[in-house]
Amino acid sequence: MAVTTNSVHMCSHIMVAKTTPKTPSFNFYENSVSGVACNGRKLKRNVFCGVQAMVQVGLEDSESVRKLRVLEGNLELDVALERELREKGFLGLRKTKLVCTVGPTCSSLEDLERLALGGMNVARLNMCHNTREWHCDVIRNIKRLNEEKGFCVSVMIDTEGSQIHVVDHGSPSSVKVEEGSVWLFTARKFDGSRPLTVQANDEGFSEGIKVGDELVIDGGMACFEVIEKIGSDLHCRCSDSGLFLPGAKFSFWRDGRLVQRNHELPTLSEKDWADIEFGISEGIDFVAMSFVNDADSIRNLKNYISTKSSRPIRVLAKIESLESLQKLEEIVEASDGIMVARGDLGVEIPLEKIPTVQGEIVYVCRQLNKPVIVASQLLESMVEYPTPTRAEVADVSEAVRQYADALMLSAESAIGLYGHKALAVLQMASSRMESWSREENQQSFLEQRQLGVSLPDRIAEQICNSAVEIANNLAVDAIFVFTNHGHMASLLSRNRPNPPIFAFTDDESTRMALNLQWGVTPLLVDLLDDVEANIKVTISLVKSKGLVKEGDSVLVVSDVTTTISTPLAFQSIQVKTID
Ligand SMILES: Nc1ncnc2c1ncn2[C@@H]1O[C@H](COP(=O)(O)OP(=O)(O)OP(=O)(O)O)[C@@H](O)[C@H]1O
Ligand SMILES: CC(=O)C(=O)O
Ligand SMILES: [K+]
Ligand SMILES: [Mg+2]
C-alpha cells in the first residue's frame, strides 16, 4: 500500500497495486480520500478533492497524448431535457424514464414532437397492430425529429408473440355475458359473429382442460365453468357476468391454481421474426419480447441480432406469464432489461398479487443491474378522460417509489385523446415522488438499503457504489461518467443517486440504450483516451451551454478503456468544482 499526498489539490491518495497475470506491469487500485470536510454540504468553491480507483494494465504510451485534440462544440443534448434543466435545475430533473406507445392518435410528426417535448424517452411500437408501412413511417418520423430537431427518443418494437385469445370478428367493441348463459368456445372458423359462440385463435386452446375447470376472461372480465368437452370444443356456463372485449385473453383455473399448459406456440412466430428483421433494417434500439418463458429464447434472439445487425439492439424480456415469473432471475440475467407487462400478467396471476410481484421484479432487476419498465393501465381512465383517477396517480407514484427505471403509457397515448396530458401526469407525479423519496432518504441515510456486492465486475460495482455515496454526501450538482458501453453509467444509476448522471459516450447505440436508465442523461461526444482531457472538454461544453456555472461541483467517473496499443483501463472517481 502506498500513500501519497498532493499538496496542490489538498487530497490524499491510497493506492493498492498488484501485478496482473496478463502483463508484467502493475495493476493499480488507487483510492484517495478527500481531506475536505464537507459531509452533506455543498463543496466550497475552488476545492478539488479526488477519489480515484484505477486499474492499469500495461504501460502508458504517447497515443492518448497524440489523440488529445480540441473538440468543437459538438455536445448532443436532447432539447427537451435541456429545457427541463434550465427550468428546474439539476436536482429538479426527472429521473424516471417515460415510454409512450405510439398508435393512431399520436403518430403524426407534430404529435410525436409534442410527446418528445413532453418528455417521451422511448417510443414503443406494438407490432400486434397496424401495418409494417405504418410502423416504418413512425420510426422514420422519430429519427427525423432526433436528427433535425435535436431530440433523443429511442425506438422499441414490441413483438406480437403467440398467445391464446379470442378471434376478433370486428363485432361491437364489447359483448355482454349474462350469468347462467351457456357459451361455445371453439377453434373452428366461422364468419362474422355468432350468438353465444367464441372462436379461439389456436386449436390447442383446450388441451388438458377438464369439465369443472374455471375459464376466466381477461383476468376477471367474466368467468365460466366448463360443463362439457366435445373434441376440442368447450361448452361453458357463465358463473360471473361481465364483458368480452375484442381479442380477449383467457386462462383456465383448477382448485384455485392456473392450469399451466405447454402449448406448442413459439415465443417468436414467423411474423415476429419478420418484424424483428424489419426493426433491424430500420435501426431500432430495443426489441421487447412478448411472452418470454425462459432465458434461452432471450439468448437466441440476442445471438441472432448480433449476427444480423452491426449495431447492438437491446433485448427486453416482457414478464407476462406465470412461467416467466417462475424463472425470473435467469430471464433477467439473460436480458438487457425487463418490462413488467401487467396487462397480460394479470391474466395469469390473481390481480391482488400484481403489486407485490411488481415490487419483486423491480427489486431483482436492480440487484442484477437491468433496467425495468412498469407497464399497462397506469393511467387507463385517461384513454377517455382528460384527468386521471386519484388511484391511478397513487399507482404511478408507487412504481416511482419502488425505483422502477421507466413508466409506460399504452392505450393512453396510442388511442387516447389525451396522450400528451397523460404524459404530463407521469412527468409531474414522478418528479414529485422522486423529490419526496430524496428527502426520505436524507433522513434515514444510514439505514438506506445497501446494494449487495454481487455483480461479476466487482471493481466497477464498488467504485460506482462509493461514487454515489460520495456524490450524495458532498451534494454535488451532477455526476459525469465517461462510458463506452454504458456499464459504469448503469452501475451508477443502480444506486439511484440524488444528483443526475450525465453519461458521455461516443457510441450512438449506447446513448440510445441509456435512455431507459433511471437518472441517466446520455450524451454523444467524441471521447478521448485521456480522462483529464475528457473532463476538461465536457465541462467546458456543458458550461458553454450555460448548464453549469462557476462554483458548481461535479463528480466524475470513468470506465473508458484506451486503444489496444495502450491497454489502459481507467476506472476513476474525481470531484471537480467548476472554475
Ligand atoms: N399501432 C397501433 N395501431 C392501432 N392501435 C394501437 C396501436 N398500438 C396500440 N394500439 C391500441 O392501443 C391499445 C393498447 O395498446 P398496447 O399496445 O399497449 O396493448 P397491450 O394489449 O397492452 O399490449 P400487448 O399486446 O403487448 O399485450 C391496444 O389495444 C390497441 O387498441
Ligand atoms: C404491455 C403488455 O404487453 C401487457 O401489459 O400485457
Ligand atoms: K405485443
Ligand atoms: Mg402483453
Ligand 1 near 285 CB (within 6 A): no
H-state helical runs in 381-457? 390-401, 411-414, 419-443
Task: In whole angstroms, give the CA distance from residue 89 to residue 219.
Answer: 43
For residue 80, the model assigns a pLDDT of 87
Could you tell me the three cell numbers for 256?
384455485
pLDDT at res. 456 = 72
- Ligand 2 centroid – CA 339 distance (Å): 8
Question: Which pLDDT score, from 0 to 100, does residue 453 have?
Answer: 56
pLDDT for 84 equals 86
Q: Nearest C-alpha to atom 1 of ligand 1 is from which residue?
A: 103
Q: How far apart are CA 119 and CA 254, in angstroms?
A: 45
Neighbours of ion ligand 4 (CB under 5 A): 320, 341, 344
Element (H, E) at 225: strand 222-230
pLDDT of res. 527: 80
Closest ligand relative to 411 C-alpha: 1
Distance between CA atoms of 413 and 417, rounded to whole angstroms? Answer: 8
321 lines ligand 1 (CB under 6 A): no
CA–CA gap between residue 562 and residue 389 (Å, rounded): 52
Q: Nine-digit cell at 134?
A: 405504418
Task: Say how many Å lie between the CA of residue 342 and the centre of ligand 2.
Answer: 6
Q: Is 128 in the pocket of ligand 1 (CB under 6 A)?
A: yes
343 lines ligand 1 (CB under 6 A): yes
> Which ligand 2 atom minimizes the distance to the CA of 377?
5
How does DSSP classify residue 106?
Answer: G
Q: Which residues contact 62 (CB under 8 A, 6 or more apart)?
A: none
- Smallest CA separation from ligand 1 atom 6, residue: 103
pLDDT on residue 316: 98
377 touches ligand 1 (CB under 6 Å): no
Are the beta carbons of 522 and 446 closer than 8 angstroms?
no
Is there an atom of ligand 2 within 6 Å of 342 CB? yes
Q: Tell which atom from ligand 2 comes closest to the C-alpha of 376.
A: 5
3-state secondary structure of 538: helix
- CA-nearest residue for atom 3, ligand 2, is 341
Q: What is the DSSP letter of 117?
A: H
Contact 19, 27 (CB under 8 A): yes
Per the CB < 8 A criterion, the answer to whether 16 and 29 are in contact is: yes
> What is the distance in A from the centroid of ligand 1 to the CA of 412?
10
**Three-class SS of 431-443:** HHHHHHHHHHHHH
pLDDT score for 140: 98
Distance in Å, CA 289 to ligand 3 centroid: 8
The reply to whether ligand 1 has any atom less than 6 angstroms from the CB of 245 is no
Q: How far is 212 from 224, CA to CA, in rounded Å?
A: 10
Question: ipTM score here?
Answer: 0.98
What was the pLDDT predicted at 571? 64
Q: What is the pLDDT of residue 568?
A: 46
Nearest CA among 308, 307, 319, 314 for reference residue 336: 314
Q: Which atom of ligand 1 is nearest to the CA of 318?
A: 26
**pLDDT of amino acid 350:** 92
Residues in the chain with pLDDT values less than 50 = 1-73, 446-449, 563-569
Atom of ligand 2 nearest to the CA of 341: 5
Cβ of 218 closer than 6 Å to ligand 2, yes or no, is: no
How many angstroms does the Cα of residue 376 sit away from the middle of ligand 2?
Answer: 6
- C-alpha 69 – ligand 2 centre gap (Å): 48
Angle between helices 109-117 and 419-443 (to 10 degrees): 20
Domains of the chain: residue spans and CATH: 2-75+457-577 (3.40.1380.20), 79-163+265-443 (3.20.20.60), 175-258 (2.40.33.10)
Burial environment of residue 528 by CB neighbours within 10 A (0 to 12, 13 to 18, 19 or more): buried
**What's the full length of the chain, in residues?**
579
pLDDT of the residue at 512: 97
Give the pLDDT confidence score for residue 447 in this predicted structure: 41
State the distance from the centre of ligand 1 to the C-alpha of 411, rounded, in angstroms.
6
Please give the distance, rounded to the nearest whole angstrom, from the Cα atom of residue 397 to the centre of ligand 2.
19
Q: Indicate the DSSP class of residue 111.
A: H
Which residues fall within 8 angstroms of residue 330, CB to CB, at 6 or more apart?
294, 295
